Amino acid sequence: MRKKAFVFALIFFGLSISAFSQDVKIGYVDTQRLKLEYKEFAEAQAKFERQMAKWQAQADSMQAELLRLQEDLNKQRLLLSEEKKREKEQYILEKQREYQEFATKILGQEGEAAKREFELSKPLIEKINAAIKLVALRENYTLILDTAGGDILYAKEEMDITDKILEELNQ
């Protein structure tokens, strides 16, 4: 947190010094709003959510099967031979292992879901950054900040260029 404050202090100190030699123009963008209102991004998000729902349904199905197997074993435990109990317990352990592997492979931090989300959003984020740069250069902005990170506590509304970026993206 101190590092961010220090960086912003340096930026604004540098801007105030350079303000003597040239006009400084600052704007901000709400990237969260861009992600919600930029049609291509919303479509990519919907596509990801559909795939995620399929993966989640598969995970839920696996969990339901595990629960059913465990309940069946508990109901039959007194009637089963030791050998049959061990077989069923081994089968349940195998199903638990399969579920854990699936959860890690698909839903884990570096799993298929994270890779797919990155794959879908990366080109769109690059487009957003290119549009921001284009508007900044065309309209001679010195600095453009992002409100989505929560670092801007106050700014005049006329400094918000989110609409300009959306206009550029939706052309």
pLDDT score of 142: 87
Segments making up each domain of the chain, as ranges: 13-169
Angle at Cα 4 formed by Cα 22 and Cα 154, nearest 5°? Answer: 65
Could you tell me if 129 and 159 are in contact, meaning their C-beta atoms sit under 8 angstroms apart? no
Could you tell me if 36 and 124 are in contact, meaning their C-beta atoms sit under 8 angstroms apart? no
* Whether pLDDT at 6 is above 50: no
pLDDT score of 73: 93
* Whether pLDDT at 99 is above 50: yes
Nearest Cα neighbor of 139 from 11, 20, 25 is 25
**70 burial type by CB count under 10 A (0-12 exposed, 13-18 middle, 19+ buried):** middle
pLDDT band at 145, cuts 50/70/90?
Answer: confident
pLDDT band at 10, cuts 50/70/90?
Answer: very low
Question: How many C-beta atoms surround the C-beta of residue 167 within 10 A?
Answer: 12
pLDDT score of 150: 67
* Whether pLDDT at 2 is above 90: no
* Whether pLDDT at 50 is above 60: yes
What is the pLDDT of the chain when averaged over all its residues? 86
